[in-house]
Amino acid sequence: MAHMQDFPLLLSTLYDHAVWIHPDQEIVSVESDRSLTRTTYAETDARVRKLASAFDALGIEPGGAVGTFAWNNIRHHELYWATANTGRICHTINIRLFADQIVYVANHARDQAMFVDPDLVPLMAPLASQMETVKHWVIMGPEASDELPGSIAYDDLIADQPEHGHWPLLDERSPMMLCYSSGTTGHPKGVAYTQRSTYLHTVTNLANFPIEPTDNVLPVVPMFHAAAWGYPYMSVTRGAKLTYPGPDLSPQGLVNLFANEEVTFSAGVPTVWLGVKQYLEANPDASLSTIRAFLCGGSAVPRAMIEWFWKTQGIRVVQGWGMTETNPVASVAILKPHMEDWPLEEQLDRLETAGIPVPGLQVKIVDEVGEELPHDGEAFGELLIRGPWIAGEYYKDDRTPQSFVDGWLRTGDVCKITPEGYIRITDRAKDVIKSGGEWISSLDLENELMAHPAVAEATVVGLKHPKWQERPVAFVVKSGEVTQEELIAHLEKRVASWWLPDKVVFVDAIPKTGTGKFDKKVVRDQYSDLLMG
Amino acid sequence: MAHMQDFPLLLSTLYDHAVWIHPDQEIVSVESDRSLTRTTYAETDARVRKLASAFDALGIEPGGAVGTFAWNNIRHHELYWATANTGRICHTINIRLFADQIVYVANHARDQAMFVDPDLVPLMAPLASQMETVKHWVIMGPEASDELPGSIAYDDLIADQPEHGHWPLLDERSPMMLCYSSGTTGHPKGVAYTQRSTYLHTVTNLANFPIEPTDNVLPVVPMFHAAAWGYPYMSVTRGAKLTYPGPDLSPQGLVNLFANEEVTFSAGVPTVWLGVKQYLEANPDASLSTIRAFLCGGSAVPRAMIEWFWKTQGIRVVQGWGMTETNPVASVAILKPHMEDWPLEEQLDRLETAGIPVPGLQVKIVDEVGEELPHDGEAFGELLIRGPWIAGEYYKDDRTPQSFVDGWLRTGDVCKITPEGYIRITDRAKDVIKSGGEWISSLDLENELMAHPAVAEATVVGLKHPKWQERPVAFVVKSGEVTQEELIAHLEKRVASWWLPDKVVFVDAIPKTGTGKFDKKVVRDQYSDLLMG
């Protein structure tokens, strides 16, 4: 027998505690029709328990997957908890996937029921006939939809169900959520979060970067994207108010909701906060007086934006870093106590990084042959990470060996780690330029180029080179008059000489991905033989 | 393969993170000779790694136990971490045990080495010859002791050792600490905390009742008592300053140390804070301006004391409850956000309880036949608890079945649980009076009696009764003129009529235990036949 009880790490224990201790805490939700639902932990619990019984009635067995296709709202919240508490899997489908990807993930996860927000039915309905395992279609609102024949309304589904009693004592390694990450090539790859991994992500992140019971948390990051970075679990565990924004993610909609509900903390990608910044600049009467911090992640956070929110709004923009494969928050750019009195510029040097690993996780950077590199802020290599809430494999996917090695996750990010412990992302592993056995950071070169006043946009890629394997070439959109020689001279003062691009190509536009990032793959393909003479 | 990495919950991962991120954070320690040692996480880490190598050199195998007999100081801190990080067991011996108990626990734990503070050698030396498994005696200071022949000095032991490298990847269910609880009868019973249980205790308590990296934590509660309630682990994990008070636990010594080191948070039993209160009352120039909160537990916390510290010092005295068997913090009397604005009296109604269970733990109260009772604040029964950091058994002890039932720990405390979630301890299970199948709280009766102006002390015990199994009898030390009839009349207005004591016995003094509590067992034995007529 174990010395201590072998009691499992189950989300239901955190949930039951929260409902018991904070029954009157509010949850506010913007619905698909823009109406506002105002409810409490206790009222929501009654619906969660009815939904759990409905899963039984629908014949969804333990371990079975339930698909969701929905915004951040109260019914999605209920689905999160009713699946986790009963040992089912919540498969949150990214509504921005391509149609064939949506079909792929629903079939791959073997979703037995599909829960769809009313205003997303037009996206889902054309795909319904291709879903091989979905037996039940549920519209997340008071009414079924003619567009999805045979669908039932969520509110009808749970109306007459009994409230589920004690939650089962599950194995803590049971999967409770499936998140698919949309790579640029091939099918999306699934990660199966477990009770244990999400539980540890929840309590450890709360210990590291606290949410308080007095907070009102508004996750802008979608619940279909890596569990909304865990905020539904963290907020409930801590007894905080939750405000779900539904489909209106416009700057105006968010600023109004922040103000009306007195939101104190929110989380989202940089473009969200850039939009909010522009809105506030254009509307000087608006302000965000109740917000204390934004967590910001998903892509690099502009230093100027962090500075602007601090100086004009008193809001700390805190960068978080993670991936679908890290459940997802793996590092947070918090200042250490002795840095709180530092000049802003020195603080920004830390705040603009990907942050300090969350306690309990281990990180290392390695070179091309897997040798560990020092944490000296100079050496850069691929970031590897391991810990209790890091993926160990892709879900039923033979691509697992590409990303996991000796118990570590290969993140695909090339990073420096400073002696102080801050991770600074230098490049994506696939974009880093391999020149004569050394690595050149395409991101560093881009940032230096874009600092030039006559450069509107710049991307740097490694192109095949007969002698050096790859050499950097810059692609630049001008916003003023500038020559190749002037840009090279600009870079010479800022980077090592062997980093200087072999060519600068002036273009009218740089190809972009669906999410607005430079599409370096297209650039590389288009100019592949430029240096091969 | 698991979906997520099967990475173990190891204290070494929290430790390494802290040393890396907070190398310059201070640890201050009062030594046995009252001198002050001032060091840092990084400097301490070098010594922890040398000590780990010394364990190897001494031949202490993984899983082996190392005894400590020491105050709260830096070397004790180093022993905590060097054992945990290498998979050894730190057996912290309570210096206040009787001599034969000390011998018993050292032999039962099979301690291979014994680390003794210099000023505690006189207590330990006479017992050395009876310790069957101790092969090495180490004096925790710069010099060996003639009183313990063959002993070596701690500082010499580690001086020439290499710094231990990577910590081993242990099974998370490995034991890392042995704590013996000193019951009133029989040998002490051991609880073996595991890596997993202490890790979860650490991060979940930090999430529930936060320590900040800006805090300076001074554990008054001994490191030989239930891991100083976990504060060495919590403080390091969070990167907080630690101040260890060594042997001087006098009110004056503590108040000076609080002031000199700018301590923000401390933890100890009520008598410690009562002493501090008296000292502050007698020394109006002294104040505790840097302290934000005291955690207080181990026995019931007087309401008046909580009130006094809040009103006069602005210090929140927060009651915690737990046992050696609960690793040990299981509940904390925190106010919910909506209570922060309440009148003080209503806050005190919550602050004086044993608190709200820590998330992740489950509690219930049961009657004599194990039936669960409602959490209505009225029903009272024995408190049962389970969760990931609750003991599952006593260490190599056949008394386990007495305290564990169906996966739950029987706490031996009789409690009410309010609908708000606060646990109110009503009595000890062995002291509650079983009268005709119903339970009467001896504590409630005592409190009502002691509220009478003519009562100095009162204890109430259940004595054998021919008809009712047991009936309450009160033993009262008078501080003024009062009769049995007057005291019964006083109680009639306050308790149910069937709770009224059958007799009030006036005595000169009530027998007390070594720790100053009423010794009800002696009273029951002495008067066992009083009601048997």
pLDDT at B311: 96
Predicted interface score ipTM higher than 0.90: yes
Contact B7 A390 (CB under 8 A): yes
**Residue spans of chain A under pLDDT 50:** 1
pLDDT at B242: 98
Closest to B459 measured CA to CA, from B422, B425, B427: B427
The pLDDT of B361-368, averaged and rounded, is 96
The residues, ordered by sequence, that sit 6+ positions from B349 with a Cβ below 8 Å of its Cβ are none
pLDDT digits (tens, 9 = 90+) for B51-72: 999 999 999 999 999 999 999 9
pLDDT digits (tens, 9 = 90+) for B139-150: 999 999 999 999
Token couple for A13 = 């224990």
Q: Of A16, A24, A210, which has the smallest distance from its Cβ to B210's Cβ?
A: A210
Token couple for A186 = 């091939």
Report, in angstroms and rounded to the nearest whole number, the Rg of chain B calculated over CA atoms: 24
Q: Which of residues 512-531 of B touch A (CB under 8 A)?
A: none
**DSSP label at A310?**
I
Domain spans in chain B, listed from the N-terminal domain onward: 7-20+38-196, 361-428, 433-526
Residue pair A480/A452 in contact by the 8 Å Cβ criterion: no
pLDDT digits (tens, 9 = 90+) for B244-278: 999 999 999 999 999 999 999 999 999 999 999 99
Q: Chain B: nearest CA to A214, how far in angstroms?
A: 6
Q: Of B5, B20, B395, which has the smallest distance from its Cβ to A421's Cβ?
A: B20
Q: Of A194, A337, A420, which has the smallest distance from its Cβ to B213's Cβ?
A: A337
Q: Of A336, A356, A360, which has the smallest distance from its Cβ to B13's Cβ?
A: A360
Token couple for A158 = 């749970």
Q: Chain B: nearest CA to A206, how far in angstroms?
A: 5
Alpha carbons B465 and B472: distance in angstroms, whole number: 9
Determine the Cα angle at B75 with ends B71 and B81, to 5°. 110
CB-CB neighbors (< 8 A) of B327 in chain A: 4
Q: Chain B: nearest CA to A492, how far in angstroms?
A: 34
pLDDT at B184: 62
Q: Of A5, A213, A361, which has the smallest distance from its Cβ to B388's Cβ?
A: A5
Q: Which of residues 39-68 of B touch A (CB under 8 A)?
A: none
pLDDT digits (tens, 9 = 90+) for B215-252: 999 999 999 999 999 999 999 999 999 999 999 999 99
The pLDDT of B167-190, averaged and rounded, is 91
Closest to B347 measured CA to CA, from B318, B386, B376: B318
Residue of A nearest to B190 (CA): A3
Residue pair A179/A191 in contact by the 8 Å Cβ criterion: yes
Contact A6 B197 (CB under 8 A): no
Paired with B447 in beta bridges are none
**DSSP label at A117?**
-
Alpha carbons A112 and A65: distance in angstroms, whole number: 6
Q: Which of residues 340-359 of B touch A (CB under 8 A)?
A: 356-357, 359
Q: Of A20, A207, A356, which has the smallest distance from its Cβ to B207's Cβ?
A: A207
Find the length of chain B.
533
Contact A391 B213 (CB under 8 A): no
Q: Of A206, A336, A387, which has the smallest distance from its Cβ to B207's Cβ?
A: A206
pLDDT above 80 for B3: yes
Residue pair A357/A330 in contact by the 8 Å Cβ criterion: yes
Percent share of chain B, pLDDT over 90: 92
Token couple for A273 = 């906060």
pLDDT at A518: 85
Alpha carbons B189 and B402: distance in angstroms, whole number: 12
Looking at the complex, does the CB of residue B421 fall below 8 Å from at least one CB of chain A? yes
The pLDDT of B295-306, averaged and rounded, is 91
| Domain B7-20+38-196 CATH superfamily | ANL, N-terminal domain (3.40.50.12780)
- Counts of helices then strands in chain A (DSSP H, E): 16, 26
**C-alpha torsion sign, points B419, B424, B430, B436:** negative
- CATH 3.30.300.30 correct for B433-526: yes
Closest to B421 measured CA to CA, from B333, B305, B519: B333
pTM for the structure as a whole: 0.94
The residues, ordered by sequence, that sit 6+ positions from B77 with a Cβ below 8 Å of its Cβ are B27, B29, B44, B223, B232, B242, B244
The alpha-helical segments, DSSP class H, found in A146-194 are: 154-159
Q: Chain A: nearest CA to B12, how far in angstroms?
A: 9
Closest to A110 measured CA to CA, from A134, A137, A130, A129: A134
Band of residue B183 on the pLDDT scale cut at 50, 70, 90: low
Q: Chain A: nearest CA to B137, how far in angstroms?
A: 28
Q: Chain A: nearest CA to B468, how far in angstroms?
A: 37
pLDDT above 90 for B516: no
Helix (H, G, I), strand (E, B) or coil at B386: strand
pLDDT at B513: 78
pLDDT at A1: 46
pLDDT at B517: 78
Band of residue B423 on the pLDDT scale cut at 50, 70, 90: very high
Residue of B nearest to A6 (CA): B388
pLDDT at B1: 46
Contact B5 A392 (CB under 8 A): yes
Contact B327 A4 (CB under 8 A): yes
Query: Angle, nearest 10°, between helix axes B74-86 and B11-21?
Result: 130
pLDDT at A184: 61
CB-CB neighbors (< 8 A) of A203 in chain B: 200, 203-204, 207, 359-360
Q: Chain A: nearest CA to B24, how far in angstroms?
A: 10
Q: Chain B: nearest CA to A319, how far in angstroms?
A: 17
Which residue has tokens 């090592």? A496
**DSSP label at B387?**
S
Q: 3-state SS string over B427-468?
A: EECCCCEEECCEEECHHHHHHHHHCCCCEEEEEEEEEEECCC
- CATH 2.60.40.2230 correct for A361-428: no
Chain mean position to CA B114:
22
Looking at the complex, does the CB of residue B174 fall below 8 Å from at least one CB of chain A? no
pLDDT at B216: 98
The residues, ordered by sequence, that sit 6+ positions from B233 with a Cβ below 8 Å of its Cβ are B11, B14, B80, B198, B201, B202, B227
